[in-house]
A and B are shown apart, each in its own frame.
Chain A
Amino acid sequence: MINDTLTPRLAVVTQIRTETPDVKTFRVESADGTPLFDHMPGQCAMLTLPGAGEAMFSITSSPTVGGYKEFSIKRCGRLTDALHAMEPGQQIGIRGPYGKPFPVDTEFRGKNLLFIAGGIGLAPLHSVIEYVRAHREAYGHIDILYGSRSAADLVDLDRIQNEWMQERDTGVYLTIDRPQDGWDGHVGFVPAYLKELAFKPDCTAIICGPPIMIKFVLAALIEMGFDKTQVYTTLELKMKCGVGKCGRCNIGSKFVCKDGPVFRCDEIDELPNEY
């Protein structure tokens, strides 16, 4: 039988962790014990739960961990509702990897890195951060700025506090939108906190979060002296095929599913403003 690119492989959800009130992380492994596929940080995969549909999700886990893939998924529609209702042991379909990864082995190497994430936007950056930690000597100083609506909405807080904050030569800055009891950390939106922290433009910035956050963060970075060639982000559009053929995730001549989702911000300037 021909294995068409649109046909998913059988996989099983082996672990489900509740991250926040509306985010769960799903660990997916192949059903037959063979490795699923190799991926690089920033790449995505299509998850299928027949009856609920199929959609593209960024792979949260780093390629440096074992044979599994993890996906941190926010509940926001029909398919994600159904995914959140799954129990461990549920078999699903998976196909991928799709898209262009972050240039972790090329442009990022030897550089200081500044990660800026908002809400579920941490998911795609998670794999980059873990990849960088696994090859720590290959990169310079790391700063991670992460914000969300409330303390309860910070994804993977345990790992952030117990691992990232303990990592050598790494600064971690958390913020939440509004003050709340029991939170003694920073309060305020990510772009404002970014300006407060006044990072020097001697690093490569990697942004992911809601479009409005990306917009203001990018503006703040430019104000702080960053050049757009130093800034990377990911774009998200509706996808069906994942391989640049179904025709719906294009921005100008680029397909987000295969030419993205990772773009350098100066490349985005050359695209029509339709994302």
Chain B
Amino acid sequence: MAMKKIALTQLEQLFAALSLTRKVYLPVEKAGQYDYAPWQPGLTYHPEVLHTVKSAKSVFFPQSEDLIRYKRAGLSLEISQQAPEDEEFVVFGVHACDVAGFEVLDRVFLSEPVDSYYKARREHGTVFSVMCAKPEETCFCGTFGIDAEAPGGDVQSWLADGVLYMEALTEKGEALLAAVSGIVSEVDDAGTQAAAETRAAHKAIMERLPLADLTTDGFGADAELLPLFNRPEWKELASSCLGCGTCTYVCPTCQCYDIREYNTGKEIRRFRVWDSCMYSDFTMMAAGTPRPDQMQRFRQRFMHKLKYYPDNYGGAFSCVGCGRCLQKCPISMNIVKVMRKLGGANHNDK
């Protein structure tokens, strides 16, 4: 399908048109911070904002969601399952890293047995990606083979001189652009050229990023598990970890969850919430926990991303280099420092 375009100043009209047939999620400011939220008249897209605090995963895998309702009366029990999402929606403004994050979650939630709540949202959701405007020094998506200039999803787009150039990549994406054909316009050769130039300029920046030299050497499915697990450096890497869940909750690929209950007095709701392997009670059983120290919990998180996940999912890593944890960890410990310390020989010089 040919490329389409729309002026940045007309984006609100695009959102308004899309919202006639579906919900539109985009990064929305709330008390100084951006997170994905439904579009309302008056809201527009801010390309200068690189990251939402929580990644776009929250649209497909919300921090908290009801699964089942129970009613108990005497010996009897009634079980009713929460209906999965059935409304169409589009999530606008996702960058390449977060789009790749969806793929990381897909491998977990869409493999057998399929998670029907996640699957329903994936089926009803259309991903409208935008190439990031100005990568930060904390960005390292390239380390994981992500092409930031081709952000992917169902529709991908590029901003150049106040114009958004977009192209559909899937049937869903084509349907979405068809639904707004009255608002978007065709792109001539000059436009195609402008889109190509903005991509090229972006690529030049990506190559200059301070973390451009970071590689996955020493990790992944081919790395030996036990030697990596037993590296003595885990102790110093984890020594200051506060055991909070910030890295987990801002991460686009962390997918661990807890299932809990809430008794409303009338019924018992079973809901799912994000959980963090950094928390002391994550593996706590009546008989104790196999990870009593923060070092073990810290190691679990990074081994999962760099070794266990690749082992289980064909070598793919469970990190997309978005850099949120670099920006948000209260003590500035993060996956890059772990990779520098434990990675292939060339990393250890740094």
Residues of A within 8 A of B (CB): 1-10, 48, 50-51, 53-54, 76-77, 80, 87, 89-93, 211, 236-238, 240-241, 243, 245-253, 270, 272, 274-275
Considering the chains assembled together, what is the distance between the CA atoms of A4 and B67 in angstroms? Answer: 9
Considering the chains assembled together, what is the distance between the CA atoms of A211 and B259 in angstroms? Answer: 26
Q: Given known contacts A87-B75, A91-B75, A272-B229, is B296 in contact with A6 (CB within 8 Å)?
A: no
Which B residue sits closest to A91, measured CB to CB?
B77
Interface size class of B (residues with CB under 8 A): 35 or more
Which B residue sits closest to A253, measured CB to CB?
B311
- Residues of B37-83 whose CB lies within 8 A of A: 67-68, 70, 72, 75-77, 79, 81, 83
User: Are A274 and B308 interface neighbours, CB within 8 A?
Assistant: no
Residue numbers in B under 8 Å from A4 (CB-CB): 67, 81, 84, 115-117
User: Are A237 and B116 interface neighbours, CB within 8 A?
Assistant: no
Instruction: Write the nearest CB–CB distance from A171 to chain B, whole angstroms.
Output: 30
Considering the chains assembled together, what is the distance between the CA atoms of A272 and B228 in angstroms? Answer: 10
User: Are A250 and B304 interface neighbours, CB within 8 A?
Assistant: yes
User: Are A250 and B308 interface neighbours, CB within 8 A?
Assistant: yes
Stretch at the interface among B139-147, B188-196, B286-294: B286-294
Interface of chain B, helix or strand or loop or mixed?
mixed
User: Are B261 and A50 interface neighbours, CB within 8 A?
Assistant: yes
Tell me whether B87 is interfacial, beta carbon within 8 Å. Answer: no
User: Are B312 and A252 interface neighbours, CB within 8 A?
Assistant: no
Considering the chains assembled together, what is the distance between the CA atoms of A104 and B255 in angstroms? Answer: 35
Stretch at the interface among B12-20, B276-284, B319-327: B276-284
Interface of chain A, helix or strand or loop or mixed?
loop
Residue numbers in A under 8 Å from B259 (CB-CB): 6, 54, 240-241, 246
Residue numbers in A under 8 Å from B67 (CB-CB): 4, 6-7
User: Are B257 and A93 interface neighbours, CB within 8 A?
Assistant: no
Tell me whether B268 is interfacial, beta carbon within 8 Å. Answer: yes
Instruction: Write the nearest CB–CB distance from A274 to chain B, whole angstroms.
Output: 5
Considering the chains assembled together, what is the distance between the CA atoms of A76 and B286 in angstroms? Answer: 7
Tell me whether B182 is interfacial, beta carbon within 8 Å. Answer: no
User: Are A6 and B68 interface neighbours, CB within 8 A?
Assistant: yes
Instruction: Write the nearest CB–CB distance from B265 to chain A, whole angstroms.
Output: 11
Which A residue sits closest to B276, measured CB to CB?
A247
User: Are B75 and A248 interface neighbours, CB within 8 A?
Assistant: no
Considering the chains assembled together, what is the distance between the CA atoms of A91 and B290 in angstroms? Answer: 33
Which A residue sits closest to B282, measured CB to CB?
A248
User: Are B284 and A272 interface neighbours, CB within 8 A?
Assistant: no
User: Are B75 and A50 interface neighbours, CB within 8 A?
Assistant: no
User: Are A270 and B226 interface neighbours, CB within 8 A?
Assistant: yes
Which B residue sits closest to A93, measured CB to CB?
B79
Instruction: Write the nearest CB–CB distance from B297 to chain A, whole angstroms.
Output: 10
Considering the chains assembled together, what is the distance between the CA atoms of A2 and B119 in angstroms? Answer: 11
Considering the chains assembled together, what is the distance between the CA atoms of A76 and B270 in angstroms? Answer: 22
Residue numbers in A under 8 Å from B225 (CB-CB): 252-253, 270, 272
Instruction: Write the nearest CB–CB distance from B323 to chain A, whole angstroms.
Output: 22
User: Are A274 and B296 interface neighbours, CB within 8 A?
Assistant: yes
A selection of 7 A-B contacts at a CB cut-off of 8 Å is A6-B115, A8-B79, A237-B290, A250-B308, A253-B307, A253-B311, A274-B300
Residue numbers in A under 8 Å from B268 (CB-CB): 50-51
Which A residue sits closest to B258, measured CB to CB?
A240
Considering the chains assembled together, what is the distance between the CA atoms of A155 and B234 in angstroms? Answer: 43
User: Are A77 and B286 interface neighbours, CB within 8 A?
Assistant: yes
Closest 9 CB pairs of A and B: A247-B256, A50-B70, A253-B311, A91-B77, A5-B113, A77-B286, A50-B268, A4-B116, A253-B308
The 8 Å CB contact of B284, one of A6, A238, A240, is A238
Residue numbers in A under 8 Å from B226 (CB-CB): 270, 272
User: Are B115 and A245 interface neighbours, CB within 8 A?
Assistant: yes
User: Are B275 and A246 interface neighbours, CB within 8 A?
Assistant: yes
0/1 interface trace, chain B 115-144, chain A, CB 8 Å (1 if under):
111001000000000000000000000000
Residue numbers in A under 8 Å from B284 (CB-CB): 238
Residue numbers in A under 8 Å from B117 (CB-CB): 4
Instruction: Write the nearest CB–CB distance from B101 to chain A, whole angstroms.
Output: 16
User: Are A10 and B75 interface neighbours, CB within 8 A?
Assistant: no
Residue numbers in B under 8 Å from A248 (CB-CB): 256, 275, 277, 282-283
Considering the chains assembled together, what is the distance between the CA atoms of A1 and B79 in angstroms? Answer: 12
Residue numbers in B under 8 Å from A275 (CB-CB): 290
Residue numbers in B under 8 Å from A76 (CB-CB): 286-287
Tell me whether B34 is interfacial, beta carbon within 8 Å. Answer: no
